[in-house]
Structure 1
Amino acid sequence: MFFTYLRRELRRRRKAALVVASGLALGIALVIVVNSVSSGMNRAQDKVLESLYGLGTDMTVTKAAAPPGEGETTRRPRFEFDAQDNDDTAEQARDLVMVQGFETLASSAVAQVGKQDGVGDAVGGLSVRVMKVNGQFKRGEAAAQPGQGKPGGDTGGGGGKVQGGGAAFDIDSYSAYGTDVTQQDLGPLTSSKITSGRTFKATETDAEVVVLDSAYAKEKSLGVGKTLTIAKTPYQVIGIATADSGDAAAQVYLPLAQAQSLAGAKDKVTTVYVQAKDSQQIDAVKQTIQKNISGTTVTTSADLADTVSGSLSTASDLASGVGKWLSILVLVAAFLVAGLLTSSAVSRRVREFGTLKALGWRSGRVTRQVAGEALVNGLFGGALGIALGLAGAWLITTFSPTLTAQLGGGGGGAGGGRTFGAGQAGQGGPGAASRALDIALTAPVSLTTIGLAVALAVAGGLVAGGFGGWRASRLRPADALRRVE
């Protein structure tokens, strides 16, 4: 009897039921879209952080460069050349390999960090910048002044004016990262995938081999088996790596010992990449390291996320702030409208419910009948809202609008290369500069979001049913008799 009456009444009041369901559907669809976009923002931000951190890295340990004291100046690149008199065509070249961004830590700091409570693994790396200058000097020639003889002649007075000559040099700059080849599961190289050749072997701790970023390899027309010369030392290219997202962490990767030797930083590292045993205890591990190892800066992915700006950050703030509040307001409005419409429908059915109560229906049965109709409307609105929400999320993922993530202080000096580690992105060392990454936005929909939509649909039906049921329970059979014509 309950379901028969329910089906008949819903069919008879199709328009009113559709209005209630549509209002709930819009609110639920908006919640799904906002939640999926927020999830997409988090994924995009994770991709940005992975490009700096490396997969599996929970935090980094660095030592910020101390500000120059009184009378001191910041170290600047310095090249020295000899303008040789005996050869006017000889090309001269110099490579300057500098530690990038921060003061160095002793290699022993890696083991010290690894011994701290809560640390699962720790590995050190050295970020450097290579500046290559090559070109040649050209001597000028003395030209005779009016009224003077030829330069060097007997009639010379004050000598001729030197014309021509000069120097023309090209400057090439790129970032390099010294990686611990015995522990390649942490650090920036893990954010790239080997697409040609191979990665380092554990035995190549001091081998003259390199892995190149694919973009840099293409720019320099280098491939597996070719040679890259750094500071007069030839390095064999053994692999090409392609970044999973955004820019690569470095343009050249080489064994840590080789990077230390080139930069004159023996037994030194710039960054310690740390993996916590429990991802829920990252803050506690951070505090432990800062307390027990003085002079270091520990930066987690949450700290680094605060440095991300640009349209990604703006859109994320809108989705998490304005979007969520808008969703809440729309849902509240939809629930109220559904309740009021249901209550209004009950007032138009006074004769019907009064007659039913006169025939023996108890108030509880009438209330359950109204609540059942409202619940079905809520479930129908939920199904419609889920469909609309999934369609909206699909459209966002299909068209994938591009967002820009601006990383303050994350880049290196000349050449636009990159530094490494969250600490550098947050503080920036000498030569640090901001840089931008383009990220395609997606809107993944999780089962949790679907479950939330179903819960909201049921809640909407119950709210509407509560309004209508309360109104119906107050009706008396006499009301029906007064309206009988």
Structure 2
Amino acid sequence: MTAVNPYVRSQLRHRRRRAVAVVAAVALGAALLIALTSLGSGFREAARAPLAGIAADLVVTRPDEGTPSEQPGRGVRQPFGLATFDSGEVRQMDTVPGVDTAVGSLQIWDFGPRSTITIAGVDPTQRAVGPGRILHHDLIAGRSFRSGEQGVAVLDRHYAAFYDTKVGQRVTVGERSYSVVGVVEVKDSAQTAASNIYLPLAEAQRLAGLPADRVNQVHVQVGNSADTEAVTAHITDRVGRVSAITPDSLVQIMGAVGRISARFSTIAAVVGGIGGLVLSWTALRGLVSERTREIGLLMAVGWRRSHVVGVFRAEALALGLAGAAVGIVLGVALAGLLSYIPAPDLLPAPPSVAGHGEAPAAESDGLPVSVSLTAVGAAALVSVVGATGAGILAARRATRLKPARSLVSL
């Protein structure tokens, strides 16, 4: 009917308050879907971040189940509660189905009279995974270690700045002096391998009084990140009980909000979208109900039921498109605001940062929230289809009344 489009335009123009209510309801559902989906993706990315910079999917350690031994109050020692792996066990991890690479490293602490520093022993030949990747990719001054090199060290940028130490100078660890050959900036995406000082693995083993084949951390790269739990189980079968840092375990550290957002963001987004649809259905039903007399008059003068439903379908489609557009803009804006939420500190800072005030901690970045085209498309589809469907259902319900009854209804 040629009168349909002018009629729809006139209704939208003269019933602005009701139209705005429908658009707001649709927009709310679309915005919630986008914002909640983006929040979930942000928590998932935050959980992956501490491992992403070292190209690892899990960091494996072995809890020390033996009787605590007498430890000196000062000097170099292993972190409390950690036992070691030998080179044979690292090779066993490397051959686990699904594992691409397993690289061992050694973390030790140096308890000094005024501060405690962390030292990482790094295999100079391993640059693809683990702390060796940091020394290869994130240097800001100098160079990394050469194979077989001794008596050298690379410093973390904050540590070097705090102690005003530059490339070419020397640093003392325990009772040994090392030449500084490089300075590295450890980014948030590599926090699982953060240390104050990096030494060649053989140097760190000698410093800690350990055999040459001993490490206490193994950085594992998995072919498919979804297989991390299965890989951890296989590693446990081969080398005994281990503790593994994985993205899932980091999500657990985030607490209830992080777990819900990361694991159930899709469900939460769908619930938000449904809530918006319910509101839009309520508004559209009210829009149709207040025009019951009008519908009866149209049908009395010869309009068919399909014509009336077509009018409301076109009207609901227009309102749904407007609501989707507003909701997408609002959802993207909300996601942008969510990115200012500080990303959770999933890993403890090195001792010199954590408890002794000897080095500045890195600033915490915001939550890595991003808006995906999938979320935007889903929000638009749900908004338009939902609003149009709600308008059609409401109109069909109204047109079931006989014209005479519609004319006398309030």
Superposition TM-score tier, normalisation by shorter sequence: 0.7 to 0.9
State the secondary structure of the residue aligned to 2:312.
Answer: helix
Amino acid in the other structure paired with 2:144:
T
Query: What is the CA deviation profile of residues 356-403 of structure 1, one whole-angstrom value per residue up to 9, with x for unaligned ones?
Result: 434543322322221221121112111111122222333444xx2435
- Give, as a single letter, the amino acid of the residue that structure 2 aligns with 1:475: L
Tell me which residue corresponds to 1:108.
88
- Matched with 2:232 is 286
Counting only pairs closer than 5 Å after superposition, residues 281-430 of structure 1 correspond to structure 2 as 281-306=227-252, 308-309=253-254, 313=255, 315-316=257-258, 331-397=273-339, 400-402=340-342, 404-405=344-345, 407=347, 410=348, 415=352
* Residue pair 2:106, 2:216 contacting (<8 A) in 1 also: yes
Corresponding pairs, count: 396
Q: Which has the higher contact order (CA 8 A, sep 6+)?
A: 2
Equivalent in 186, 190, 197 of residue 243 of structure 1 = 186
The residue number in structure 2 matching 1:97 is 76
Question: How far did residue 302 of structure 1 move?
Answer: 1.3
What does 1:137-286 align with in structure 2 at a 5 Å threshold? 170-188=113-131, 190=133, 193-201=138-146, 204-245=147-188, 249-265=194-210, 266-286=212-232
Cross-structure match for 2:104 = 124
Q: Any conservation in 2 of the 1:289–1:298 contact (CA below 8 Å)? A: no
Checking the alignment, whether the CA contact within 8 Å between 2:251 and 2:258 is kept in structure 1 is no
Aligned partners of 2:243, 2:341: CA distance in 1, in Å? 36
Map of 1:30 onto structure 2: 32
Q: In 1, distance between residues paired with 2:349 and 2:118?
A: 10
State how far apart, in whole Å, the 2-side matches of 1:228 and 1:211 are. 10
Q: Tell me the secondary structure at the aligned position of residue 8 of structure 1.
A: helix
Unaligned runs of 5+ in 2: 356-360
CA contact (8 A) 1:404 1:436 kept: no
Instruction: Verify: 1:460 aligned to 2:386, yes or no.
Output: yes
Sort the Cα spacing of 1:75 and 1:107 in 2 relative to 1 into closer, same or farther, 3 A.
Answer: farther
Could you state the TM-score of these two structures normalised by the residue count of structure 2?
0.84
- Paired residue type of 1:99: Q
1:67-82 mapped onto 2 (5 Å cutoff): 67-68=66-67, 73-77=68-72
SS in 2 for 1:129: strand
* Partner Cα separation in structure 2 for residue 99 and residue 351 of structure 1: 83
Q: Distance in 2 between matches of 1:336 and 1:230?
A: 65
- Of Structure 1 and Structure 2, which has the larger fraction of its residues in helix? 2
SS in 2 for 1:67: coil
Q: Secondary structure at the match of 1:449?
A: helix
Task: Find out whether 1:445 has 2:371 as its counterpart.
Answer: yes
Tell me how far apart the structure 2 counterparts of residues 236 and 395 of structure 1 sit (CA, whole Å). 46
Mark the runs of 5 or more structure 1 residues left unpaired by the alignment: 80-95, 133-169, 419-434
* Alignment partner, residue 358 of structure 2: none
Letter in 2 for 1:199: S
Residues 190-242 of structure 1, C-alpha deviations (whole Å, 9 max, x = no match): 457211122233xx234222110011111221111111233444322111111
Shift of 1:445: 1.8
Q: How big is the shift at 1:106?
A: 0.7
| C-alpha distance 315-195 of structure 1, shift in aligned 2 (>3 A) | farther
Contact 2:126 2:133 (C-alpha < 8 Å) held by counterparts = no
Please give the secondary structure, in 1, of the residue aligned with 2:188: coil
When residues 467 and 106 of structure 1 are mapped into structure 2, their CA distance, relative to the original with a 3 A threshold, is: same
Change over 3 Å in CA distance of 1:372–1:59 after alignment to 2: same
Aligned equivalents of 1:244, 1:287: Cα separation in 2: 30
Q: For each residue in 1:98-138, what CA deviation from the matched residue of structure 2 results, as whole angstroms up to 9, or x when unmatched?
A: 22341111122222211121111111101111234xxxxxx
Does the CA-based 8 Å contact 1:41-1:316 persist in structure 2?
yes
| Larger strand percent | 1
Task: Give me the identity figure in percent.
Answer: 31
Which region of structure 1 is more displaced relative to structure 2, 247-256 or 340-349?
A: 340-349
Amino acid paired to 1:56: A
2: CA distance, partners of 1:436 / 1:198: 22
Q: In structure 1, give the amino acid aligned to 2:56.
A: T
CA RMSD of aligned residues (A): 3.3
AA aligned to 1:274 is V
